[in-house]
Chain A
Amino acid sequence: MSAELLKQNYFEIFSVPVAVEVDMDKVSHIYHEYQKQFHPDRFASSSDHERRLSVQLTSHVNQAYRTLKDPLLRAEYLLQLRGVDDNPETRTTMDGAFLMEQMELREQIEMIPSQADPFAQIDQLKKQLKDRQKQLLQDFAAEYAAENTPPALEIINKLKFVRKSLEELDEISETLENEIL
């Protein structure tokens, strides 16, 4: 397969600079152009080879789009482009204050179902976590610009904690709703 598109990195695919901030309007415009050109539905009556190529191309474009759209995935990908391999063995240890904060948060999450107004509690924690996420992303941008890899990696791991907690809050909402319905 010699198609150049498959060899380009996710930023090149959408002709945007490799950076923490991305012009998502431009990306999503080009994304839809690609879909119009290469979606498998456009090749429903073409040869097997072309259909396969079309699936491969759209998959690649979809993956690229999803990565740029999600700030956490995007941040991870930026480090990957710099050749940083984030596997558990090389992972740096988390700072103590952050771990304490997370443990407290876990306790609060566990207490939710027994609260008088669990949904209000969920909303409040969610807001708190989203603020934290925003701040961590700003920190990441600074470390990335300064090419400080270990601290950048640590921030990504923190962001993963935050994301996991947000997902858990959604799950709890769902369980609570099921009980009411």
Chain B
Amino acid sequence: MALLQIAEPGQATVAHQHRHAVGIDLGTTNSLVAAVRSGQADTLPDDQGKHLLPSVIRYLEGGGVQVGGEAMQHAVDDPLNTIISVKRLMGRGSEDLANQSVELHYQLATDDGSLPRIKTVAGDKTAIEVSAEILKSLRQRAEATLGDELFGAVITVPAYFDDAQRQATKDAARLAGLNVLRLLNEPTAAAVAYGLDSGQEGIIAVYDLGGGTFDISILRLKKGVFEVMSTGGDSALGGDDFDRAIVNWIREEASIPETDTSHSLNRQLMQQAKLAKETLTSADGAEINLHIDDQRTWYGMLNRETFDGLIAGLVNKTLMACRRAMRDAGAELDDVKEVVMVGGSTRVPAVREKVSEFFQRDVLVSIDPDKVVAIGAAVQANALAGNSPDSEMLLLDVLPLSLGIETMGGLVEKIIQRNTPIPVARAQEFTTYKDGQTAMSIHVVQGERDMVADCRSLARFELRGIPPQVAGAARIRVTFQVDADGMLSVTAREETAGVEAHVAVKPSYGLSDNEIETMLRDSMDHAVEDRDARMLAEQQVEGRRVIEALDQAMLADAALLETDEQQRILALREALLQLVEVATVPASIKQAIESLEKACEGFVAKRMDASVKKMMAGHNVKEFKTEGETK
């Protein structure tokens, strides 16, 4: 598990304590948390037995917070302090929000920076803070259910999320005190839940129809690699539109004038519509009882056929998007091996039928469509925490959108193309265009279009201290590094004079590290002593883990070390072991861990080289055999 050595397939790894890791589906309408328990992945209910947590946060005067159903009850009477659909705001600047297709009903604080804040009685809140409240509630639920602190979490994001949106999600998790093991694309998570990663190779379509959004993703599965080939959808189409279609039908049938928009009647209509929609997933007809006013009541019957007719146009719209996504992916209907259904609205029988008809095959519906994404995330979280050593699963992702920088004339020069497997690093050289130029501004963008204005601005930074030279003489090497979560860091260096200026970049619409730290401090629930005790315990666990890993590595490969190197490492190991037992402050253990790890760097590299050699040797033998057989 450590020191860059992975057990050979089939070879037993060291038994270690089971680490609790969860999968979290942070949704626009609802959120869920799931975990693998006794080998079985399932979502975790709250103390009232509810699995779905409505993604709603209400801020109270005096600093209190209501989460989920409790908050949702006040969406109507306290709309300004009750935040819904916050996911639509993640990683977005004020300008983007003005162009949203869905209207936001809360007030944005006018602010200086580009990160918008929502005005509430408890102060101005960023989307990241609001999302963190949802995540915190799920974390507490998980810890209460699993009876232990969490090792980490896999959090799902839409496949089309750009760098800023992914960063915002990660920041929210950090604020909520979660260790993010990985951000996972929602469609990939759904496919994992169905175990498709170990199935046949081919195209997988993931049809996700939620309450207010529709996403279609076309994935290609090849040798355990999930590649998102195309995504499409409509951010303003979902089950809520089905409800509205029923409401309009009732209004017409019951001859309720359009002018009658009384609040209580509206609410009754929406409730009856929702109920009818749910009834119709299994029954052929649904009764509707309406108490219009003291003089009038109305009774009606909505049958399946009529309902199907009401939503036919909406369903067709989703199929058009599927057609488009298939073409974008360059895939034929024949290539599609599986169709995964996600989102509560795929319970509607007409939706299943039409999607099945379109893809010319049965669709996968055996896992609850509300839970399937969280379940897939839990499976991946469990594997990442090292709880399923036999698992061969490896999900390789690709960069969803190209990364580039602005060049002269507002044009984009692409540095890393979309669909490149990640992690990836790419370096590019630039030069000055004026004599004596000593600074250079670098603007990083993400998107497929040629003009900067049409792409998303991720970050701007300046490289200073370039030695003055004639134009074109300076060599500025800009390195882009994208990690396994699809997140970017950029560094720049001037090479001719050896001037180094590393700049780590934070997205334009994110929080700075300082801001996050302040928020973390502000939100610290624990007293200082509690926190110190916790940090000490954490360091003790970490220290023991490092020792255990080292012992394993020594057992296997001590021969790779020179005697003096080995002695140095063993001395540091002894020092760490002692500190783990006696230290009273976490910092001293941490320091001992760092010294030991530093001393082991050479050993790690040697072990890695040895393992590469072994891998290659194994491969060559196999190759040789195959060649021999074919000849």
Binding site for B on A (CB under 8 A): 1-5, 15, 26, 28-30, 32-50, 53-60, 62-63, 65-66, 177, 181
Contacts and interface: CB of A to CB of B under 8 A. Distances in A.
Interface in B420-447: 420-426
Contact of A39 (B152, B424, B484): B484
Contacts of B383: 41
Given A36-B394, A40-B483, A65 B384 contact: no
B607 to A, nearest CB: 10
Contacts of B420: 62, 66
B1 A40 contact: no
Interface of B: 1-4, 6, 19, 151-152, 181-182, 223-225, 320, 324, 327, 383-386, 392, 394-396, 420-426, 481-484, 546, 549, 593, 597-598, 601-602, 604-606, 608-609, 611-612, 615-616, 619-620, 623
Given A62-B423, A66-B421, A37 B605 contact: no
A2 B612 CA distance: 13
A55 B385 contact: no
Given A50-B2, A53-B608, A37 B615 contact: yes
B230 to A, nearest CB: 11
Given A49-B597, A50-B604, A177-B324, A59 B423 contact: yes
A139 B611 CA distance: 40
Given A5-B612, A37-B611, A60 B394 contact: no
Interface of B, secondary structure class, is mixed
A40 B484 contact: yes
B385 A53 contact: no
Residue among A1, A30, A37, A45 with most chain B CB within 10 A: A45
Contacts of A56: 425
A49 B425 contact: no
A77 to B, nearest CB: 13
B619 A40 contact: no
Contacts, number: 120
15 contacts: A3-B605, A15-B616, A15-B619, A30-B616, A41-B484, A53-B608, A55-B423, A55-B481, A55-B483, A56-B425, A62-B420, A62-B422, A62-B424, A63-B424, A177-B324
Residue among A1, A47, A49 with most chain B CB within 10 A: A47
Contacts of B151: 45
Given A28-B223, A44-B181, 18 more contacts: A1-B605, A30-B619, A35-B396, A37-B6, A38-B4, A39-B396, A40-B483, A41-B394, A42-B6, A43-B2, A44-B152, A45-B1, A45-B386, A46-B1, A47-B546, A49-B601, A55-B484, A62-B421
B181 A54 contact: no
B619 A29 contact: yes
B385 A45 contact: yes
The 8 closest A-B pairs by CB, nearest first: A59-B425, A44-B384, A40-B484, A2-B605, A46-B2, A62-B421, A59-B423, A3-B605
Given A44-B385, A45-B151, A181 B324 contact: yes
